[in-house]
Amino acid sequence: MDNGNMIIINGNEIPFEPGETILQAAQRKSIEIPTLCYLKGASPTGECRMCVVEVEGARNLVASCAAPAGKGMVVHTESPRVVEARRLLLKLLLSSGNHNCAVRKSDDQDWTGFQLSVQKEDSSAELCPAWGDCKLQNLAYQYQVTGEQFPRTETPYPMETVNPFIVRDFSRCIKCGRCVQACCDIQVNDAISFGYRGSNTKVIAAGDRPLKDSDCVFCGECVQACPVATLMEKDARYRIRPWETEKVRTTCSYCGVGCQLNLHVKEGEVVQVTGVEEIAPNYGSLCVKGRFGFNFINAPDRLKSPMIKKEDGTFREASWDEALDLVAEKFKAVRDDHGPDAFGLLTSARVTNEENYIAQKFARAVMKTNNVDHCARL
Amino acid sequence: MTNTIADIEEADVILITGSNTTENHPVLSSFVKRAVKFRGAKLILVDPRRIKIAAYAHQWLRQNLGADVAWINGMMNVIIEEDLYDKTFVAERTEGFEEMKKVVEKFTPEYVEGISGIPAQQIIDAARMYAAAEKGTILYCMGITQHITGTDNVKSLANLAMLCGNMGIRGGGVNPLRGQNNVQGACDMGGLPNVFTAYQPVNNPDAVKKMEQNWGVSGISDKVGLKVTEMIPKAHSGELKALYIIGENPLVSDPDLNHAEASFKHLDFLVVQDIFMTETAQLADVVLPSACFAEKEGTFSNTERRVQRVRKAVEPPGEAKDDWWITWEIARRMGHETDQYTDSQKIFEEIRKVTPSYAGITYERIEVEGLHWPCPTTEHPGTPILHIGQFPKGRGTFHAIDYIQPAEQTDDEYPLYLTTGRVLYQYHTGTMTRKTQGLNEREGESFVEITPRDADRLKIEDGAMVEISSRRGAIQARIKISDKAVDGTVFIPFHFAEAAANRLTNAALDPVSGIPEYKVCAVKVSAAA
């Protein structure tokens, strides 16, 4: 990069590639510009205006997610003008629905009334289900704003719960459009879009039908993209708070794509799965099986003990010692009495490399046969 | 895959065949759909069903089941005839062009139309479209491999890619989409009867010696072992006495299940190691409980040869143990006292020593992002794209391949073709996915997908229970009239043990790979008794 392609953000000279936005240049240097609607991998919509910055010489504030960085541009990301604009936006958003995160003035009367009205619509006495995992809440704290300055706007749309996986709570929608982009620009399932107009704007599926009757394939990309509490996993909503869980990163065990996912563990149980963002091969995306098909891990009918078949054909539980000794004895007898090739081993495309290696080593080094295969063909 | 998943987005033309991509590899299908929607890539789909990805395709060619060699040869015929092939690539990087050309000559679009049912003009259009691409990628799955001509089909796709110079470049390649999380790794690790790790042949004396030295044993067999599809008949005839099955459910996934079940019952001793009491485990003499992916450390290798970490998040239930621990405990109890392993990393270190393509991969290096093998040294960055500049053996060989028809044809008694596969909401034999209520709510039982016209002809209504039978067995399932189906062919998912599609399928095998012809057999459909 030559010296010409430099932008100055908050006094720091930052080189940029032609075509890069102000936001991208800033992010590369870890300068935080708040965003709500910006979704990496999709084209910026400039919908939320949260990322506005002040560019010297420009009359209006500029949406940094969409504005390209320019040679010699001098940018302020937290100037008083910028902060004032963001505070106003946040106040409007906070007043626009059921944002009962207690980011409000300590006026008991008003809070109680507000909380009760939310409870009526969401049948929970708890604070917002996204509490502690909400971009809007974080920004409200950061900019120290509350939601009562403007009259509360009612949402005309009821909650949708008629599918097994995703709850759509329109009362908490900030219309940032990330879900629409996640669906149409990232996963390209084209199941949802903005419908109606003005203050009636709603994210709709297939002519405003429930997700289950639309093209939705329940990949949950929209849930992961939602910055607030509008779209949440049905089983996790209200039941799992982020501070109660520990995240363990691993590789999905379904198809061969090898999606990187986070297992969210609460009290020794996997209770939620999310995609690992910005890492190959899936860059945060998952499918319905990877995101929602984890119940088998903790299924009550998991095998818990070695089992040996009795004379009558039923099984009895056995200790590891008994079961392993029996297997070792029988395998040894087959090898020694009938020859190594009377034994076969089917290893598994489901288990790890290390386990496959040990399995074939067992067949070859211990049983002395190459009768080892797995279900690649099936 | 010769190329990476991300690479798909760089292709100008994407040819998908025998892959129901949106249902079986949904995340990967997004890369295809984005390429089409946002980057102007052209998509050619060749598939017997009108699957969802067809909606994104510029051309959908509907071939008769098992006619793949014919349409691929047909495309090559057009490309050679119209002089659209990459002459530099063919001259500099390949061999066997003339022999291949000779066989392909008779596969004129009209001749191919007769075999495949694809209109001649569509073959011409698809050939021109693929050949015009600067970067063309081919994605395929079991719809290509699960035929008696599976190996021929794959070689034919490789022919097509080489003919157009689409190997060893970004956005190109021949890319099999692996259907199971670690099928790539199981092959890489030598979970095959003919090779040790990294595809070192078992009948190569140097490879045998290398393993004997590393493992501190003697007498390793240099004779190629039995494939799974050969073990079953040997079990039936009594030659195979004992079988040890780890994490598989062949009693739902094998072809011609009635025969497979009888064979398993002939075994003297069957051990099944799994996370559930599967249909196969129920036949076992001993069942050993293992830990699932969320309960163990290790690595999986994905379809793009990327070796990635698996990490333990929760404890296994009850007494369940890591699979490697169980297997090696049996070895130890058989008197094999050398090599004691304490954890998966120690095993991985041993893998690196005997597996040239994994030698440079360590747990530390793949802590954040996985590496693509081959990765021979710890300084090597991994190999996202294979065959750049040269094939491993020097030149790529064109194979001259003629068309062979499927093992079973329809007739008066069995007038419909059956093809099998998976659905979005279930996985393989369903042992895992069927534990999630929501997935069952979306798709919880077997069905027979059929066209309105075929259903009409049979006087069967949508949702009716029917009996589907082949020469090998019969099952009952519900009729699903669908625009995915094509006249004359029905589709049944194989997930559901209680209506196992594999009671119907044909165990005729590809002579090289031993893959059964799951994708074609003849059936009849009648109202359930």
Distance CA B332, CA B328 (A): 6
Distance of alpha carbon B52 from its chain centroid, rounded?
Answer: 20
pLDDT one-digit tens code per residue, B310-366: 999 999 999 999 999 999 999 999 999 888 899 999 999 999 999 999 999 999 999
pLDDT at residue A156 in the model: 82
Cα-based angle B302, B306, B311 (whole degrees, multiple of 5) = 75
Q: Do the Cβ atoms of B156 and B108 come closer than 8 Å?
A: no
Mutate to test the interface with A, among B3, B27, B199 (most CBs of A within 10 A): B27
B269-274 and B286-289 as β-strands: parallel, antiparallel, unpaired? Answer: parallel
Among A249, A292, A355, the residue with its CB nearest the CB of B323 is A355
- What tokens does B2 get? 């010769």
B88 within a domain of the structure (yes/no): yes
Confidence class for position A90, pLDDT limits 50, 70, 90: very high
Same domain, A191 and A264: no
- What tokens does A215 get? 């093209």
Same domain, A106 and A229: yes
pLDDT higher than threshold 70 for residue A109: no
- What tokens does A59 get? 């009359």
CATH, residue A31: 3.10.20.740
Same domain, B214 and B150: no
Give phi and psi for A358, each to the nearest 5.
-65, -40
pLDDT one-digit tens code per residue, A5-53: 999 999 999 999 999 999 999 999 999 999 999 999 898 988 899 999 9
**Residue A39 at interface with chain B, using a CB cutoff of 8 Å:** no
Domain edge (last residue) among B146, B177, B208 = B177
Same domain, A229 and A247: no
CATH, residue B498: 2.40.40.20
**Residue A110 at interface with chain B, using a CB cutoff of 8 Å:** no
Same domain, A224 and A106: yes
B-contacting residues of A 202-231, CB under 8 Å?
217-219
A95 within a domain of the structure (yes/no): no
Same domain, A38 and A106: no
pLDDT at residue A344 in the model: 98
B394 within a domain of the structure (yes/no): no
Q: 3-state class of A13 per DSSP?
A: strand
Instruction: Report how many domains make up chain B.
Output: 3
Mutate to test the interface with A, among B189, B336, B369 (most CBs of A within 10 A): B189
Same domain, A121 and A50: no
Kindly tell me the burial class for residue A338, based on how many C-beta atoms sit within 10 Å of its own C-beta (0-12, 13-18, 19 or more): middle
Same domain, A27 and A60: yes
A93 within a domain of the structure (yes/no): no
Residue type, B62: R
Distance CA B481, CA B462 (A): 6
Instruction: Report how many domains make up chain A.
Output: 4
For residue A227, say if its preceding peptide bond is cis, omega within 30 degrees of 0. Answer: no
pLDDT at residue A1 in the model: 44
- What tokens does A273 get? 């799965």
Same domain, B39 and B122: yes
CATH, residue B316: 3.40.50.740
Confidence class for position A328, pLDDT limits 50, 70, 90: very high
b/e map B402-432, b = 16+ CB within 10 Å:
ebebbbbebeeebebbbbbbbbbbbbbbbbb
Q: Collect all residues of chain A within an 8 Å Cβ-Cβ radius of residue B437.
A: 164, 295
- Hey, CA dihedral for B496, B501, B506, B511, is it positive or negative? negative
What is the share, in percent, of chain B residues with pLDDT greater than 70?
100
Residue of A nearest to B510 (CA): A377
Confidence class for position B110, pLDDT limits 50, 70, 90: very high
pLDDT at residue B93 in the model: 97
**Residue B415: CA atoms inside 13 Å, Cβ hemisphere, count?**
9
Whose tokens are 């003697």? That residue is B218
Mean pLDDT of the residues in chain B: 96
ipTM of the complex: 0.96
The 3-class secondary structure across B154-216, one letter per residue, is HHHHHHHHHHCCCCCCCCCCEEECCCCCCHHHHHHCCCCCCECHHHCECCCHHHHHHHHHHHC
pLDDT higher than threshold 60 for residue A106: no
Contact between chains at A282 and B27 (C-beta distance less than 8 A): yes
Same domain, B202 and B157: no
Confidence class for position A105, pLDDT limits 50, 70, 90: low
Domain that holds residue A132: 101-233
pLDDT higher than threshold 60 for residue A107: no
Domain that holds residue B349: 183-372
Domain edge (last residue) among A233, A251, A275 = A233
Domain edge (last residue) among B119, B154, B177 = B177
pLDDT higher than threshold 70 for residue A326: yes
In the predicted model, what is the mean pLDDT of residues B208-233? 96
CATH, residue A116: 3.30.70.20
Residue of B nearest to A43 (CA): B38
Same domain, A290 and A209: no
What is the share, in percent, of chain A residues with pLDDT greater than 70?
97
Q: Collect all residues of chain A within an 8 Å Cβ-Cβ radius of residue B19.
A: none
Same domain, A294 and A349: no
Distance CA A31, CA A82 (A): 15
pLDDT one-digit tens code per residue, B302-326: 999 999 999 999 999 999 999 999 9
pLDDT at residue B296 in the model: 98
Q: Do the Cβ atoms of A273 and A282 come closer than 8 Å?
A: no
Domain edge (last residue) among A298, A323, A343 = A298
B167 within a domain of the structure (yes/no): yes
Distance CA B139, CA B57 (A): 13
CATH, residue B56: 3.40.228.10
Confidence class for position A155, pLDDT limits 50, 70, 90: confident
B236 within a domain of the structure (yes/no): yes
H-helix or E-strand containing B300? strand B298-301
What is the share, in percent, of chain B residues with pLDDT greater than 90?
97
CATH, residue A291: 2.20.25.90
Q: Collect all residues of chain A within an 8 Å Cβ-Cβ radius of residue B229.
A: 377
pLDDT one-digit tens code per residue, A247-285: 999 999 999 999 999 999 999 999 999 999 999 999 999
Domain edge (last residue) among A22, A47, A78 = A78
pLDDT at residue A3 in the model: 55
pLDDT one-digit tens code per residue, B172-217: 999 999 999 999 999 999 999 999 999 999 999 999 999 999 999 9
B465-469 and B59-61 as β-strands: parallel, antiparallel, unpaired? Answer: unpaired
Same domain, B173 and B217: no
Min Cα separation A376/chain B (Å): 6
- What tokens does B516 get? 């059964």
pLDDT higher than threshold 60 for residue A177: yes
pLDDT one-digit tens code per residue, B409-440: 999 999 999 999 999 999 999 999 999 999 99
Same domain, A139 and A191: yes
Interhelix angle A353-361/B344-354, rounded to 10 degrees, is 70
pLDDT at residue A104 in the model: 66
Same domain, B67 and B166: yes
In the predicted model, what is the mean pLDDT of residues A232-256? 96
Distance CA A374, CA A347 (A): 5
Domain edge (last residue) among B156, B177, B198 = B177
